[in-house]
């Protein structure tokens, strides 16, 4: 196992992992790819080898896997049993790096302590990211571990995109628009020169549509704006998060409804979004299959907000040359892509229905003014590249 890199990516609805072997010339070759999802509802562990053959496919009783920390324990046990030894390094996605942590960095106890302070800024993710780091640090203190930050790719934003219109002291203490899904955007940016050379150097909106969803304004492969802000609550509506919200709603809930921080956190991170609008599910697969009018309304709301915020990001870039869909919904839901394109027809986004149905890569029609692509993301590969680089710098 001493030539492998293990990568863990804990998202809001899943824990993904991949095992890579480091080949000659520092190439990374995927050996195993797995995912634990449906945590709390229909927990399922699905693991495949590089050729796609299923290595494990197990479902669990939701009562024995009600939260992410139980899922981590089960996954940890599976990995220990199947990896046959310690990897060269473990790379982790850490959703919030705050204003000080930008570059991927080797993990030590002090770092974990600092990242722990950011838990209130990413309560849905940071605990799930730090749990495995802490547990490996405890069991195998010498294991080389690297933290890669979801906020890093956005740290070069111009001042206007980095600020709220609020007093300076808040900005100074870190109340800024960070942006997230940066590892995904960084990976997409690395793929564009090969997959979409005509837009790679131009102005591109990348839509990362998963259970968490955001969009990035990318100019020449660099992020200049994002729909997410201080936390992963801003911007688009998501599985269980509302997206952009008038701050007056929060004041009203506190002053008139007596909600405390814990109740607000539950409402804003777990009980809003597509789940609340539809009353059916946070999972777009279920919403697409549902006959409920509210499920259709929730999906309309999603597409409408994506279209609206595309206008905002295009304004940040002074125009738009390309649009890229990625992540669970963006890569798989042709109907959502079609609904977004329909609402952006005025901007010149038009799809080729056959290409859209086969999920790309290029899905825009020949007469479209904006080139449109589906680019499957690979946050784990991005993390593995960073992890190897930090390991070699040692
Ligand atoms: N075939 C599909 N059709 C529509 N939506 C899908 C499909 N497959 C996955 N999804 C959506 O993708 C979401 C998960 O995306 P993913 O990027 O893995 O999320 P996260 O990393 O936030 O856990 C699911 O909630 C589901 O709504
Ligand atoms: C930042 C974020 O929302 O991540 P995810 O989509 O993995 O939940
Ligand atoms: Mg994700």
Q: Which ligand is nearest to the CA of 288?
A: 1
Chain CA centroid to CA 284, Å: 16
Q: What is the pLDDT of residue 2?
A: 67
Residue 42, token pair as written in the block: 């229909």
Return d(Cα 211, Cα 170) in angstroms, integer: 29
pLDDT digits (tens, 9 = 90+) for 239-270: 999 999 999 999 999 999 999 999 999 999 99
Residue 181: CB within 6 Å of ligand 2? yes
What is the distance between the terminal CA atoms of the chain, rounded to a whole angstrom? 20
Give 367's contacts (C-beta < 8 A, 6+ positions apart). Answer: 350
Q: What is the pLDDT of residue 298?
A: 98
Report cis status (omega within 30 of 0) of the bond before 107.
no
Q: What is the pLDDT of residue 1?
A: 60
Q: Which atom of ligand 2 is nearest to the CA of 12?
A: 8
10-residue mean pLDDT profile of the chain (394 residues): values are: 88 89 94 90 92 94 82 86 89 96 97 96 93 93 97 97 98 96 98 98 98 97 98 97 98 98 97 97 97 98 98 98 98 98 97 98 97 98 98 91
Residues of the chain with CATH 3.30.420.40: 4-155+383-393, 196-374
Return d(Cα 156, Cα 282) in angstroms, integer: 32
Q: Which atom of ligand 1 is nearest to the CA of 209?
A: 17
Q: What is the distance in A from the centroid of ligand 2 to the CA of 85? A: 30
Q: What is the pLDDT of residue 253?
A: 98
Q: Which ligand is nearest to the CA of 329?
A: 1
CATH 3.90.1150.200 is right for the domain spanning 4-155+383-393: no
| Atom 12, ligand 1: residue with shortest CA distance | 328
Protein residues whose CB sits closer than 6 Å to any atom of ligand 1: 11-14, 210-212, 239, 283-285, 288, 327-329, 332-333
Q: What is the pLDDT of residue 349?
A: 98
Residue 10: CB within 6 Å of ligand 2? no
Q: What is the pLDDT of residue 76?
A: 86
Chain CA centroid to CA 120, Å: 18
Q: What is the pLDDT of residue 226?
A: 98
Q: Which atom of ligand 1 is nearest to the CA of 336?
A: 4
Q: What is the pLDDT of residue 6?
A: 97
Return d(Cα 260, Cα 242) in angstroms, integer: 18
- How far is CA 366 from each of CA 349, 363, 370, 371, 373, rounded to the nearest angstrom? 11, 9, 10, 9, 13
Return d(Cα 152, Cα 308) in angstroms, integer: 25
**Of all helices (H) and strands (E), which one includes residue 323?**
strand 322-326
Question: Does residue 52 come out as left (phi exceeding 0), alpha (psi in the -120 to 50 range) or beta?
Answer: left
Q: Which ligand is nearest to the CA of 302?
A: 1
Q: What is the pLDDT of residue 63?
A: 84
211 annotated as a binding-site residue: yes
Return d(Cα 154, Cα 178) in angstroms, integer: 7
Return d(Cα 230, Cα 78) in angstroms, integer: 35
The residues facing 89 across adjacent strands are: 5
Residue 212: CB within 6 Å of ligand 2? yes
CATH number attached to the domain at 196-374? 3.30.420.40
**Of all helices (H) and strands (E), which one includes residue 91?**
strand 89-94
């Amino acid at each position: 196992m001493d030539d492998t890199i293990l990568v863990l990516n804990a998202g809001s609805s899943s824990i993904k992992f991949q095992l890579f072997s480091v080949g000659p010339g520092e190439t990374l070759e995927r050996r195993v790819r797995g995912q634990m999802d449906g945590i709390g509802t229909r927990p399922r562990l699905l693991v495949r080898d590089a050729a796609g053959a299923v290595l494990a496919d197990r479902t669990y009783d939701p009562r024995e896997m009600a939260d992410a920390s139980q899922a981590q324990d089960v996954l940890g046990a599976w990995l220990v049993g199947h990896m046959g030894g310690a990897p060269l390094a473990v790379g982790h996605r850490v959703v919030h790096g705050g204003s000080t942590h930008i570059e991927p960095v080797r993990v030590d106890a002090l770092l974990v302590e600092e990242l722990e302070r950011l838990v209130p800024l990413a309560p849905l993710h940071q605990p799930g990211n730090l749990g495995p780091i802490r547990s490996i640090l405890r069991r195998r203190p010498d294991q080389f571990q690297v933290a890669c930050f979801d906020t890093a790719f956005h740290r070069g934003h111009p001042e206007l995109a980095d600020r709220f219109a609020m007093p300076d002291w808040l900005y100074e203490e870190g109340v800024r628009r960070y942006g997230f899904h940066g590892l995904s955007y960084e990976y997409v940016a690395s793929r564009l020169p090969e997959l979409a050379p005509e837009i790679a150097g131009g102005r591109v909106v990348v839509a990362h549509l998963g259970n968490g969803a955001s969009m990035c304004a990318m100019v020449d492969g660099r992020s200049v704006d994002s729909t997410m802000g201080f936390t992963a609550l801003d911007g688009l509506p998501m599985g269980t998060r509302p997206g952009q919200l008038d701050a007056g709603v929060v004041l009203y809930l506190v002053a008139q409804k007596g909600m405390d921080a814990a109740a607000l956190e539950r409402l804003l991170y777990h009980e809003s979004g597509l789940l609340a609008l539809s009353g059916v599910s946070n999972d777009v697969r279920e919403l697409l299959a549902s006959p409920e009018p509210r499920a259709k309304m929730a999906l309309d709301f999603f597409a409408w907000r994506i279209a609206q915020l595309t206008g905002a990001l295009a304004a940040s870039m002074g125009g738009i040359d390309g649009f890229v869909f990625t992540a669970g919904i963006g890569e798989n839901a042709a109907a959502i892509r079609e609904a977004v394109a329909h609402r952006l027809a005025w901007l010149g986004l038009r799809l080729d229905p056959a290409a859209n149905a086969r999920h790309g890569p290029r899905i825009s029609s020949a007469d479209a003014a904006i080139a449109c692509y589906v680019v499957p993301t690979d946050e784990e590969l991005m993390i593995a590249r960073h992890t190897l680089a930090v390991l070699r710098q040692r």
